[in-house]
Structures are given as structure tokens and as C-alpha cells.
Structure 1
């Protein structure tokens, strides 16, 4: 099992398609990516036509699970999905709080290539859900969060799918 797999051939095509759909907008956004290879490759494919610059920001990396044995990771994630926020492990709470802090302080418009649990953490926070996981975004789906003056004005969830978690 590769610890940081890249995109499949299908993933590259999906990312290019997403970029084509956003080509009129992409230049007016700040572009950020998780440091994970598949997120970076997604941003590269999305911005391929014009080679837009983007920043890698570790705040958007996956849920911290390095202390979890690979054989136990899938079961651990299932438990995290349904656990009330207040019962999450300390490192997961800190990770989530850092994401929320970024969201509260973000100034401008952003496109971020990131991961299932990052998206869920932000959406669960802004919808006041007491669990970290509240929907199942599909691969290369687009979740849009609109905030003005610190208040949520609109939320558009990405395509929903029962995503398979590859470990």
C-alpha cells in the first residue's frame, strides 16, 4: 500500500474535466492544495491549460491518523465518522480546529484541492453538525462554501457518493 498515491488515469481525466468547467473562474481565485500527491495532481490537471500558480498548504492535508496501525485504520475511520465532536481524539480536534480557524480568517475567494474528511470537517462545522462526517463527496466533486462578513450565505454540496476509502 503506497502511503501517498497519485491519481489514476481516470482521476487525471476527471480533474482535467473539472478544470475545463471552471476555466472562466479559475484565474480570479487563490489556488491552494493539500500536500498529498493526488490533491497536487488534481490542481495541476485543473490548471493545466494556463499553468496557474498555486500554493501547497499542509492545513488541508488528511485527517491525522499516522499513529493508527494500517490494519486498524478503516475501522478507526468508521468510528471517527460517527463520533460526536467532543469525543474525538485530541490530535483530530486540533486538526479540525485549525481548519475552522482558516475558514474563519480566509479573505478572498479560494479553490482548494483537498480530501473527504477536510471537506466534511468544514461542512459539519458550518452546518452545526455534531459529527465530523455529514455527507459523502464524490471524487473531484465541487463543494462551495460562501461566507460574507463571517456568516455563511450559501452552501452547495458536491456530488454525493458512498466513497470507497482506499487505505
Structure 2
């Protein structure tokens, strides 16, 4: 059995006004705290992977320092692609689609007009997870985690639960089968 730990990034400086915000002061503290927690469960051999976005990289760095390991960037665990470049309109789109099912999101006019293949985005995440060969700590995003949990639970919801910033969702992988060991701590939160 392989242990997979999905760590949602710490609180970002600006959740809605930037495509790639770093962590705010609270997020930096969260990343240091979660690094200590992760170091208490990390058993060699293990890998550390991060989304290419700053908030995930900055959340991973303290754990890398403690474990004396480097992380690799993994593009397949980046946040959901936005069909809209304008940040203000992107916020409106996100707020509109988060309560939907995946079928409803795919039928959304702005989503369809964008030409983005959200099913491919979701499939690539699962395909990537199933390819892992050892325990892995994955620093990623709200909707990536939700997409994975919805897949495991065979749910069509875009948002299955509300993983808090710097929360850890623990999965197992055995014989190409993903199972939930423990969902991360939940909070009322916005994507940031």
C-alpha cells in the first residue's frame, strides 16, 4: 500500500485578485505548522510534489527543509484551469460553478465556449495519482483535492467537501485503487 497525502496550500495573500499569489503571514505560519506534522508521519522512501503555483511551493518549502529533501513540480496537480482571463469575471465564474455538478459545469456556456477540456484535466489528475510508486506528499489546490475525492466517491459534485488551508487528506493506493483514509480538516473557506 502506498500513502498519498494531499496538502492544500496555506492561506494565500489574495485569493481572488491574482492568478498566482504567494502565502500571506497566516499562510506562512500554517506551512511551518503542517511541516512539523508531516515530518512526524513521513517514512522513507517518499517523494514531495508541488503544483507549480507559488502558494503550493511556499507551503511545501518548510517540509522540504525539515525532511532535507527537494520537491518536484507536477503540472497535473495545478488548480482548475480558468476559462476567463479577466480576474473579476473569473471570480464570478468560480462562484457560479462551484455549487454545480461536473455535468452542469461542462454545460455552462462560458465553460463550453472556452474550449477547455475539464474532463481531461480531471482524468489526468487521477492517471497521475495511479502512476505513483511510493508514499508521496502532494501540495496542491482545493478543486484538485475535490476532484480526486469526487472521483473516489463516484460523486458528480464539483465541490465534495471544504478542505481548509494547510489541511491534509490521506489516501491509500493499492493495485491501482484509491481509497480515502482520512479527509482533511474542513472549514468555511474560499478558493485562494
Instruction: Tell me the TM-score normalised to structure 1 length.
Output: 0.89
- Distance in 2 of aligned mates of 1:157 and 1:94: 24
Residue 161 (structure 2) pairs with residue 144 (structure 1): no
Structure 1 spans left out of the alignment, 5+ residues: none
- Distance in 1 of aligned mates of 2:179 and 2:77: 22
Residue 19 (structure 2) pairs with residue 3 (structure 1): yes
- Superposition CA RMSD, Å: 1.8
Aligned to 1:60: 77
Q: Specify which structure has the bigger relative contact order, considering alpha-carbon pairs within 8 angstroms and separated by 6 or more residues.
A: 2
Deviation track 1:122-159 (CA, whole Å, cap 9, x = no partner) reads 01100111112100000000001112112234431101
Residue 159 (structure 2) pairs with residue 128 (structure 1): no
Residue 127 (structure 2) pairs with residue 101 (structure 1): yes
What's the CA shift for 1:85? 2.2
- Distance in 2 of aligned mates of 1:66 and 1:26: 37
Residue 32 (structure 2) pairs with residue 16 (structure 1): yes
- Distance in 2 of aligned mates of 1:27 and 1:139: 24
- Distance in 2 of aligned mates of 1:68 and 1:131: 24
Residue 191 (structure 2) pairs with residue 165 (structure 1): yes
Query: Is 1:16–1:48's contact at 8 Å kept on the other side of the alignment?
Result: no
**Count of aligned residue pairs for this structure pair:** 166
The answer to which structure has the higher strand fraction is 2
SS in 2 for 1:11: helix
Which stretches of structure 1, 4 residues or more, deviate above 4 A after TM superposition?
Answer: none
